Structure 1
């Protein structure tokens, strides 16, 4: 019964998200997804690069040179993303931290696409049970939104290169946050993702040994 309610909620949220969306042209934009790729004119060439990225375990690794300017104040954590985009607000990662009073366990929550608010009830539920909750803003959402946009159109769009860049940026941002939590003394770190956030959380859990548990909700069979 709970899963049925969750599916209905997701469908209603998806319909509300249709408001303000505009049709745009399909673009490969390979160099944005795979830096150094140069001009790629065909889908076949693009798919070759994509297959190489899938086979490369370092595609979702953090860069060797990372900007470590973490700022934590009044329950908010702010730090620079290691992927620079042409949208300045998107290059700064914001996360809401709900402390539990314990440094044993922490959970990072990744929201759904076009989320309009963080998950206050979920955060309160876990923080009362001794788990510090960190609600990260994924690319082009919340504080990172593109000026003038009414939804996160740059996170998933007909621009295939930008979409792949956004997913990779979300994974790298999450891994950077998890590394910071480890440095702060948290020993048991889990991830929770919903809808699009479940893809990001799942990729992080698959690539980062620091993640002990993953809860993935409303995950589709294929991101495509």
Structure 2
């Protein structure tokens, strides 16, 4: 336990070396409009996804996919949705969409964790880029993901909405082009997005959420990664209850998933210093306790236990291909 916490705390010191060079707080409506969840995350569009090939090897084509956001926020760079793909020539193979974590600088962790295993089974892989991250990072942003979760409450809400809606649309485009099932695997903040996706999208054949956040308001207010956002909000007179109310539309535990319960796998880390496991427990209980694995590690288990995590995820997804 102590070892796991120490590693997480060391990693958090490095995490906080990237700090914002400008304030983000922008005033928002005190009285939150009651948003309809299905309307808020709705999409009837199948985007025109362009695939740019970079290499062809061993029956696989690799490259970059791009499409214009279904719900643009107003930043040209961010509103071009992009990501990496590794696609087998067999259109009947399963398709796995990976959603990375907050502030990730690349998809390396997900690639190292899963790509070798999935290539052995000839599965297709798509690495979806979250708003304001990686290639979608605005020029003025100090680091990847700075503008997705910040003291700009309304922009945070819209960025999460954009992530979910565009992910839904991307799933629909894969369903149209490919014949195999579509699985979604989210990591950390990506798990938070994947959980939200499960509450509005029934075209996902299985989902895995790894070391996920349930309540973004709780995470900002009560965990180390959110401390500077909390500080900026407090300096502007914002209290927890206000952002909690404003972020209810972003909380997956408030509604049941549209995916079958036995097609959901939740993974948590017992000593996680990034994600409050009690917050993760809330989702698990609210969703009537789907399959869950709790690892004896911290958030750093993403690296230290990646082989075990990959094995557990692959076993779960392989079983879903047989049903």
Q: TM-score, length-normalised on structure 1?
A: 0.80
2:182 is paired with a residue whose SS is strand
**How far apart are the structure 2 equivalents of 1:170 and 1:11?**
29
Q: Which residue pairs with 1:196 in the alignment?
A: 189
Q: Is the 8 A contact 1:105 1:189 kept in 2?
A: yes
**How far apart are the structure 2 equivalents of 1:88 and 1:129?**
37
Q: Which residue pairs with 1:186 in the alignment?
A: 179
Which has the greater radius of gyration? 2
- Go from structure 1 to structure 2 and tell me whether the alpha carbon gap of 1:141 and 1:9 turns closer, same or farther (over 3 Å shift): farther
| 1:218 aligned to which of 211, 216, 227 | 211
**How far apart are the structure 1 equivalents of 2:94 and 2:41?**
24
Q: Is the 8 A contact 1:99 1:127 kept in 2?
A: no
- Cα deviation, 1:22-53, whole Å, max 9, x if unaligned, reads 37253344xxxxxxxxxx3x2xx02xx2xx22
Q: Is the 8 A contact 1:100 1:128 kept in 2?
A: no
Give, in angstroms, the shift of residue 112 of structure 1: 0.4
- Cα deviation, 1:86-139, whole Å, max 9, x if unaligned, reads 321101011211123432310100000000111322233223222211001110
Give, in angstroms, the shift of residue 223 of structure 1: 1.8
Q: Is the 8 A contact 2:24 2:150 kept in 1?
A: no
**How far apart are the structure 2 equivalents of 1:102 and 1:134?**
15
Structural mapping, 1:10-89, within 5 Å: 12-22=10-20, 24=23, 26-29=25-28, 40=29, 42=30, 45-46=31-32, 49=33, 52-53=34-35, 55-62=36-43, 64=44, 66=45, 68-74=47-53, 75-89=63-77
Give, in angstroms, the shift of residue 18 of structure 1: 1.4
- Cα deviation, 1:165-223, whole Å, max 9, x if unaligned, reads 00000001111110110011233111000110001111112211110111101113422
Structural mapping, 1:64-213, within 5 Å: 64=44, 66=45, 68-74=47-53, 75-103=63-91, 104-118=93-107, 119-121=110-112, 122-151=114-143, 152-213=145-206
| Deviant stretches of 4+, over 3 Å | 7-15
Q: Is the 8 A contact 2:46 2:173 kept in 1?
A: no
Q: Is the 8 A contact 1:89 1:146 kept in 2?
A: yes
Q: Is the 8 A contact 1:71 1:78 kept in 2?
A: yes
- Go from structure 1 to structure 2 and tell me whether the alpha carbon gap of 1:25 and 1:143 turns closer, same or farther (over 3 Å shift): closer
**How far apart are the structure 2 equivalents of 1:140 and 1:124?**
28
**How far apart are the structure 1 equivalents of 2:118 and 2:18?**
34
Greater per-residue helix proportion = 2
**How far apart are the structure 2 equivalents of 1:67 and 1:108?**
16
**How far apart are the structure 1 equivalents of 2:10 and 2:119?**
28
Unaligned runs of 5+ in 1: 30-39
**How far apart are the structure 2 equivalents of 1:27 and 1:188?**
42
Unaligned runs of 5+ in 2: 54-62, 218-323
Give the number of aligned pairs.
Answer: 201
Q: Is the 8 A contact 2:65 2:84 kept in 1?
A: yes
